[in-house]
Amino acid sequence: AQSVTQLGSHVSVSEGALVLLRCNYSSSVPPYLFWYVQYPNQGLQLLLKYTSAATLVKGINGFEAEFKKSETSFHLTKPSAHMSDAAEYFCAVSRNTPLVFGKGTRLSVIA
C-alpha cells in the first residue's frame, strides 16, 4: 500500500522568505510523486512530478522538489515566497495505482 504524510497542516511565511513544505511517502515499489496546488474554489493543478528520472524536479511558478529515497521524502521548496503563492498544497503518490493524496498544507504568505 502507498501513503503520504504531509507535516504541518498550516505553514505561514513572510513575503520573500523561503517556502518549505514537507512530504514523506511510503511505497513498496519505486513511486511516482506529485505536488498539486489548489487555489480557493478551484480544482487542483499540477506543480511538478517525479517519475524516476532526475531527483531534483523543477515545476511551475518557481517551485522545485527533491526526491530523497533514503529519507522517503519529497519536500517542496521555493526560494522566495510571493503573495500569489497563498494556497493549499497536496503531495500525492502513485505507481500503477490511483493517486493517494496527503491531507494538504495550507500556505499563508504575510506581507
Residues at the interface with other proteins (CB under 8 A): 9, 32, 34, 36, 42-46, 49, 51, 90, 92, 98-104
Q: For residues 26 and 45, which CB has a smaller minimum distance to other proteins in the complex?
A: 45
104 — phi, psi (to 5°)?
95, 150
What is the smallest separation between the CB atom of 104 and other proteins, expressed in angstroms?
5
**Is the Cβ–Cβ distance between 85 and 39 less than 8 Å?**
no
Q: For residues 86 and 99, which CB has a smaller minimum distance to other proteins in the complex?
A: 99
What is the smallest separation between the CB atom of 49 and other proteins, expressed in angstroms?
5
What is the smallest separation between the CB atom of 68 and other proteins, expressed in angstroms?
19
How far apart are the C-alpha atoms of 68 and 62, rounded to whole Å? Answer: 20
Q: For residues 36 and 67, which CB has a smaller minimum distance to other proteins in the complex?
A: 36
Greatest Cα pair distance in the chain: 42
How far apart are the C-alpha atoms of 76 and 101, rounded to whole Å? Answer: 15
